[in-house]
Chains A and B, each alone.
Chain A
Amino acid sequence: MRWPLSRYLPDHSHINFVRLSPFAAILSVIAVIASIASFATFGLNLGIDFKGGIVLEAVTPGVAPQAQYRVALEQMGLRDPGVQGFGSPNDALLKFQPVGDGDPTPIVNSVKAKLSAEFPGIQFRSTEVVGPKVSGELFRSGFMALGIAILLMLVYIAFRFGMQQGLGAILAIFHDVLLTIGLLSLMHIEFSMTSIAALLTVIGYSMNEKVITFDRLRENLRKYRRTPLAEVINLSENERLSRTIITGATALLALGGLLFAGGASLFPLAFTMVFGILIGTYSSVYVALPVLLIWGVKRGDDDAKPLKAATARP
């Protein structure tokens, strides 16, 4: 094997990306519908910061007695008790909702005292209490952040490349976010404020991909004025292929460490980002670009700020 490996990267690949796009479109539509269905059926496994309530992380000298925890919490008459494993086998998360609206501190303290009496050697590594008012606000501001991010991306891409590209990118971003949320809901992965951060990162990465895609396309559209759009897209994607492979692989490798060694509390974040990188790469080729194929794109020699591009011919 010769080194560096970049010599093995395809110099002149001739993959017909565009030909596959009808199939990809069907796949995407099915995936989006499945995501929405999953979201509607299972909902999201909301974390405490969005749902409100109390979470204790308890660690015992032996394997965590999850079933006994559950019984103990139920006997205390707490609302909505839940127990789940977390990280090491000795570790468990105990979740419940406080009764009444007052200061939850006395309840937390009495629960801790009762558990300490029942399970000798138990230690509470972390305690989290989120009141209903705060959780509602966090939820709203989280989704507002997503909305504003998408809007600003649209404005930026439309400004830098053109309205069609902006819409293509936004459609792709919606596609990515919906699929990611669908997967999180299907796999019952906790959705918290950190997930919003992960989604925003996914949006950022996906946008990054769109920018690189459109950038190369714009360049080639200027270079090959008479070539049909589909061919220019194919050419650009083939030219870009080696970069896509290397960057994608680097990002996945980097996050792989996080996914497997980052610990239980970073798992949802790492998982969301890994999926987002895969889906963001896919949607650049098969959502953002096909949109241009359908709506057409302005092909002038003027520089790329055709904000009036809505008049473009297909």
Chain B
Amino acid sequence: MIQLRPWKIALVVIALLFGVLFALPNAVPAGSLPGWLPNQRLNLGLDLQGGSYLLYEIDTGALKKQEMTDLVEQVRTTLQTSKTVFSGLGQTPDGVTVRIADPTKFDAAFADLSKLAQPIGNTASRDLAFARGPDQTILITQPPQAGVAAASKAVTQTIEIIRRRIDALGTREPSITQQGMTRIVIEAAGLSDPEKLKAIIGKTAKLTFQMVDDTVPPADVAAGHVPPEDMVAPSDDHIAEYYVLQRRAVVTGEMLVTASQAYDPQSGAPVVSFRFNSQGARRFGDVTAANLQKRFAIVLDGRVVSAPVIQSAILTGSGQISGAYTEESAGNFALLLRSGALPAPLNVISQRTVGAELGADAVRSGTIALAIGAAAIVVFIVLAYGLFGLFAAAALMMNVLLIIAFMSLTQATLTLPGIAGLILTLAVAVDANVLIYERMRDESRAGRSLILAVDSGYRLAWPSIMDANVTTLISAAIMFQFGSGPVKGFAWTLSIGVLTSVFTAILVTQVLIGWWFRLAKPKQLPI
């Protein structure tokens, strides 16, 4: 080992170059490096740079309920199309049930309804199960795996829609990631007031146009007697408290091609103007032509926005929604309509907001703590081991450099606990050198020659160093697996630190000691 192997020197030099190159962007002002150099800086966590963390969960209960409601309508349409007489169509706790009146038509109806089932993904299983119940009833249920598949599809869709909404907002891009089966994490760096973001993300924005059923007397509504094909929807139009609507939607938000904020030509108030696709335009035209002087309602997330009277058939497929809008709220509404409805409501289940100032404080105190820690280690180790301590300190500095370089390169998030992890890593890194030097002292005392003592110091200390670092890696891996954001950052910092510290504590000090041997030709161990 004392004969310096060229590959060891080369490795140390390469590592040093790597460290300087990739850590450099953190030391100079952003954008001052030429483009061909690496320019990624440390990726500071939200706790260090300020920002918002939002954890959303998709409401799977509502999703299932919505699917079952849709299924009831599909069953109704299917049976009506085939002119089958039925009764008792409704939801049960596990699915949908319907009774076919004519026993001779039962098999045909069963076969018709079976076609409603869709394959799940690319598998052979179907998303609906059909069973024959007593008294000519058909029971339709959703198998559990279909529920899971639907939830996962809903999450994927939701992420896509949220991304569209946020992109349109044009703010600094937050990160959107899926967590587990039904959760979505949104992290917006630098955003300390997430309320606007939440207003955009959290809205389901399910838009429907439904006919108003004016035939139901208010007394019946108060008593809860509403025909099965109708529903009662609360209203926000300041004209009526609620409207009785036909359940079946004439047109839905999916048939919109575009929506934008505009001004009412007469009053000049902000409105949302929209246009349907050809299918929507045709349906809307047919329905308005057939229902002149009746009301239809524009319904958003189950609440009536407005309920105008149809004055003439609307054949152009475009229109406007007026309400008490400001330019901003009309603009947001239009954005929500453009980006599409979420498949199910989203709920905030956890939120963390850190002000930029607090983040800056954290960076300051973290840096001070790191500087104090590193200085204490260097002073102590140099006091304890003299020249060899200096070598260990040099290795330690290189270790810090390499950790910063790796963290910048991999864009791993540095969090406040991560800084603590870094400090501990430095302490443990020095332990490797302490082990090596103590072995050298042992061997030297046992009467070995200087060269042999130095050599066996490295050789004998290695198993302990390895075992010790493997145990640290094990605990870091577990933290990474189970921890949440900041703890993951801690674990990652710890892991990178362990790997680089083994390299610097052993190889870098070896090369330095080798050079010292060559230059000083020492006669005895200086520790």
Contacts and interface: CB of A to CB of B under 8 A. Distances in A.
Nearest to B366: A262
Nearest to A257: B372
Interface stretch (A20-28, A66-74, A75-83, A239-247): A239-247
Interface in B348-381: 348-355, 357-358, 361-362, 365-366, 368-377, 380-381
Contacts of B368: 257, 261
A251 B435 contact: no
Of A3, A125, A216, most B-chain CB atoms within 10 Å:
A125
Interface string A258-296: 101111011001100100000000000000000000000
A61 to B, nearest CB: 14
Given A126-B353, A160-B467, A261-B365, A247 B430 contact: yes
A236 B355 CA distance: 53
Of A128, A142, A152, A262, most B-chain CB atoms within 10 Å:
A262
Interface stretch (A34-42, A131-139, A178-186, A305-313): A131-139
B349 A266 contact: no
A103 B365 contact: no
A126 B352 contact: yes
B483 A204 contact: no
A149 B428 CA distance: 19
Interface residues of B, number: 83
B487 A4 contact: no
Of B348, B350, B352, most A-chain CB atoms within 10 Å:
B350
B384 A246 contact: yes
A189 to B, nearest CB: 15
A145 interface: yes
A230 interface: no
B355 A126 contact: yes
Contacts of B419: 262, 266
Contacts of A57: 358
Dominant SS at the A interface? helix
Contact of B471 (A7, A109, A211): A211
B426 interface: yes
B366 A266 contact: yes
Nearest to A143: B482
B350 A129 contact: yes
Contacts of A258: 369, 372-373, 420, 423
B471 A201 contact: no
A139 B469 CA distance: 27
Contacts of A103: 202, 347-348
B369 A262 contact: yes
Interface string B421-434: 10110111011001
A208 B361 contact: no
A251 B428 contact: yes
Contacts of A49: 484
Contacts of B380: 249-250, 253
Contacts of A207: 468, 471-472, 475
B65 to A, nearest CB: 17
A127 interface: yes
A211 B373 contact: no
Contact of A129 (B351, B376, B470, B491): B351
Contact of B434 (A133, A149, A211, A243): A243
Nearest to A262: B369
Contacts of B382: 4
Contacts of A208: 428, 431, 468, 471-472
B384 A193 contact: no
A17 interface: no
B380 to A, nearest CB: 6
A255 B423 contact: yes
A141 B351 contact: no
Given A193-B487, A212-B468, A266-B417, A251 B424 contact: yes
A145 B479 contact: yes
Interface string B458-491: 0000011001101110111011011110110011
Interface string A168-212: 000000000000000000000000011011001101110110011
Interface stretch (B19-27, B329-337, B438-446): B438-446
Given A6-B384, A250-B434, A261-B365, A130 B350 contact: yes
A85 interface: no
Contacts of A201: 421, 424, 475, 494
B441 A6 contact: yes
Given A4-B386, A251-B427, A243 B484 contact: no
Interface in A116-164: 123-131, 133-134, 138, 141-142, 144-145, 148-149, 152-153, 156, 160
A257 B383 contact: no
A127 B353 contact: yes
B483 A197 contact: yes
Contact of A152 (B198, B426, B468, B478): B478
B366 A125 contact: no
A105 interface: yes
A269 B417 contact: yes
A144 B482 CA distance: 8
B501 to A, nearest CB: 12
B353 A262 contact: no
Contact of A149 (B202, B361, B373, B475): B475
B55 interface: yes
Given A103-B348, A211-B467, A257-B369, 17 more contacts: A4-B386, A4-B527, A6-B384, A6-B386, A11-B445, A145-B479, A156-B470, A156-B474, A196-B483, A197-B421, A204-B494, A247-B435, A250-B431, A254-B373, A262-B366, A266-B416, A266-B420
8 contacts: A49-B484, A208-B431, A208-B472, A211-B471, A258-B420, A263-B365, A265-B47, A269-B417
